[in-house]
Amino acid sequence: MAGLAEITGKTCLITGGASGLGALYAEAFLREGAKHVAILDIAEDKGKETAAQLNKTYPGKVVFVKCDVSDEDSISKSFNQVVDTVKQLDVVINNAGILNDSHALWRKSCDVNWQGLVSFSMKAVKHMRKDEGGASGTIVNIASVAALIPVGSTPIYNGSKAAVLHFSKSLSQPPFQETTGIRVLTICFGPTDTALMTELNGRVYDQKVGEGFSTVIQEIITMGAESAVAAFMAMFKNGPNGSVWLSEKNLPVQDITPKLEAYYKSFTG
């Protein structure tokens, strides 16, 4: 069955794209025929390295732009730089994320996971919307299974990811796509074998409450990065506007929108 979205010839911006799943999304889009991919990250050396490696296989198709997703000025400058370079953005993937509820970093985590994602989404809407001269497009927001279930050790991270999920569902409500031509997708990943899942005991909000958190997570079946990317690509190609997808335990990706819609309907009648 033909998918809803083509990747060939499209331009894409990926936050947190220097390494991990972000870099793998970039490679997957290029493999599928993307015209240009802009990877944004605060890790400048790694970002330049990743862009150089990808450009060896896909010459001239990848650009790296340094961006601090927790800082609005940095977001604005980097977004404008990408648009100036590629002229038209078709896809924005809000992938940057931090799991750190510690006293020192919880606010920065919220700024990256939530405020930065909203900022990039709103800039994408303004740039893409067909009713104001744009060419339409897709916004993909990376949530987490943490948006769906409570975890006592990381209430701040869970709260930020729940906000991402609800923001995406609210933004995509009719007549959003009909008016703007923009599709909004959300994916919730279970624990995945990336750097985000390392040294977890030091990233809980309270050591007494979070004692053993890392051990508990490791006992859960951790998904491989390849499975996560395959799930992401399946969602991107086939997901209708407003849909929410779940990927965990190396299982096939699931469209959980009907379950969420049934839950919402129980309140609205």
Active site residues: 157
- What DSSP state is assigned to residue 115? I
Task: Name the nearest CA neighbour of 16 among 196, 247, 231, 136.
Answer: 196
Within 10 A of 16 (CB to CB), how many other CB atoms are there? 28
**CA-based max dimension of the chain:** 55
> Is residue 187 within 8 Å of 142, Cβ to Cβ?
yes
> Is residue 214 within 8 Å of 154, Cβ to Cβ?
no
Element (H, E) at 74: helix 72-86
Type of residue numbered 180? T
How far is Cα 31 from Cα 111, in angstroms, rounded to an integer? 32
Structure-token match 């990317």, residue found: 229
